[in-house]
Amino acid sequence: MATALRVRRPVVRPVGSEEPDRQQLAWVVDESPARTRASAQAAGLGWVDLVLIFIFMAGIYTNYTIMLSQKLPFPSAPAGVAGLILLWRRRDDITPRALVGFCAIVTLYLVSILLAPDINWLARRTNGLIQLTYSLVIGYALFLTVKRAERRQIARLFLAFALLILVGCLLETYAGLRPISDAVRTALYKKGVYENDLRDLMFYNRVRPKFFASEPASVTFCYTLFSFIWLVTSQWRWKLPFYLVLVGLGLRAMPGPTLLLMLVLLLPYMLFLGSRRNGRIDATRFLVVAMVAALFALVALVLAQTLFAERLESVTSGNDPSFFYRVQGPALAGLDIMGRYPFAGAGLTGEPFIEREITNLYLRSPYYSAGWTVVSPATELLINYFWLHWIYLGFVGGVAMIAVLSGWLRILGVPSVAFCWVTWAILGQASGAYVGPTCWAVLFLAGAAALLHQRGAVAAATGWQHPTGEWRVVS
């Protein structure tokens, strides 16, 4: 059976021989001026695009927000500016089908806020829809840019991001960078600055580095994300052992349970990408890597009980508000709200609408301490974008939205939608703000990284060297 690789920039079609022992390839290239220009652009990213990706990631890392009005924020402003510029640069890559899919997604979100209970909250939900649309737009621009890159470009770029955070944290802890970092943080962030150094001393025996971020959780989250994207896109033979080294170095430089997600993330990578041969999942290999991936998940559990024993004890005894509001509480709230409002949930940014119900639910939980101060505003009650998806949309609306988004990702050429969603769900345990850019940057980065991984795997299997434009494998 012949395998054809369809490439839009430039149009290339290899034709395979029917002989089983050798493969002869003939290339037919459209040399029209438009295609020639697109071919030059598809040879990899230039320095402008790489700088814009760096600014985008800096916006995700700092989460620096500008208030356009009293109720309308401009979240992750550097990422927003860079994303809009990337969108303009990639405007010719937007296909009609992709545009229709995007409009369908936004329309479905619009329907969800119209169906949500209590129309008095429509203005707030509309505000949330505006922020969500903005986040989807710049995330899509990031996807269009990353997928045009050479695989090694993205691997090197994201490894550089991870190493920059690692070195910065070491400098802050051991080389006197903390006063400068704290001064910059005080100037950048009007609120939400982490000030629980005493808590760090109790759990980690030292103050955790922030390295210009608002809180240590942002540092560990981005280090985890950047290292994982490097793992997926790298073609280095020894990348998995080095990834484990990055885990160890991270635990040394910036201790925190979020870093254990780096081991959990090996599950989707090994199951949905590592088990593929010639672009398709191999059943035998899938079973083997499933056992290996399960082993890494078990190692993560053991490390959690060993390295963070005091933190784990606080979690189980109801003395860790941070973990409760990020993991335990949102899970309780998600299940409760899906039962109360199964069809449309609480609506986008609907935390104030369900604030009383969530507070009462928390007070009844054995993992919640009555001595804690009830947090305000209501958005601080739920810091987990995975569970916010179900809280905002309900079970029926949440499933429908995932189905539509999955269809759109397939239109965009993402080879494994399951990989994207599992990665998104795992990292959602360490990040909130469903309508913010970080939530959707994770999904789009996972999709683009999977596409680059697939592209490299097909090239290695066939011996082809092909352009980096839009493509897919057909049998």
Query: Does pLDDT of 192 surpass 70?
Result: no
DSSP string, 166-219: HHHHHHHHHSS-HHHHHHHHHHH-SS-----HHHHHHHHSSPPP-TTSSSHHHH
Asked if 459 contacts 467 with a C-beta cutoff of 8 angstroms, the reply is no
| Cα–Cα distance, 43 to 443 (Å, whole number) | 25
Cα 333 from Cα 354, distance rounded (Å): 10
Residues 6+ apart with CB under 8 A from 307: 251, 255
pLDDT tens digits for range 141-151: 999 999 999 99
Residue reference for tokens 């493969």: 23
Closest CA to 434 of 405, 468, 456: 405
Amino acid identity, residue 390? W
Beta bridge partners of 474: 4
Tokens matching residue 274: 């590592």
Residue 333 sits at the vertex; the CA angle it makes with 330 and 335, to the nearest 5 degrees, is: 110
Of 43-47, 239-243, 343-347, 371-375, least confident by mean pLDDT is 371-375
User: Which tokens go with 50?
Assistant: 């790489």
What pLDDT is recorded for position 207? 81
CB 427 within 8 A of CB 224: yes
What pLDDT digit, counting tens, does each position of 375-400 carry? 766 667 888 999 999 999 999 999 99
Radius of gyration of the chain (CA): 23
Length of the chain: 475
pLDDT given at position 150: 93
Q: Is 471's pLDDT higher than 90? A: no
Given a cut of 80, whether residue 307 has pLDDT beyond it is no
pLDDT at 303 over 90: no
Residue with the bigger pLDDT between 458 and 201: it is: 201
Q: What pLDDT does residue 16 have?
A: 40
**In sequence order, what DSSP letters do the residues of 408-455 get, joined into one string?**
HHHHTT-S-HHHHHHHHHHHGGG---TTSHHHHHHHHHHHHHHHHHHH
Average confidence (pLDDT) over 336-359: 91
Asked if pLDDT for residue 176 goes beyond 60, the answer is yes
Residue 370's Cβ-count burial label (10 Å; 0-12, 13-18, 19+) is exposed
pLDDT, average across residues 422-438: 93
Distance CA 451, CA 121 (A): 39
Q: pLDDT tens-digit profile of 230-245?
A: 999 999 999 999 999 9
Say if residue 370's pLDDT is above 60: yes
At 471, is the secondary structure helix, strand, or coil? strand
pLDDT digit string (tens) for 15-40? 444 444 444 333 333 334 444 344 44
276 pLDDT exceeds 90? Answer: no
Mean pLDDT over the full length of the chain: 82
Asked whether 247 and 263 are in contact (CB, 8 A), the reply is yes
| pLDDT (0 to 100) of residue 43 | 58
Give the mean model confidence (pLDDT) for residues 455-469: 52
Highest mean pLDDT: which of 345-354, 361-370, 434-443?
Answer: 434-443
Q: 441 near 63, Cβ under 8 Å?
A: no
pLDDT value at position 473? 40
Helix (H, G, I), strand (E, B) or coil at 316: helix
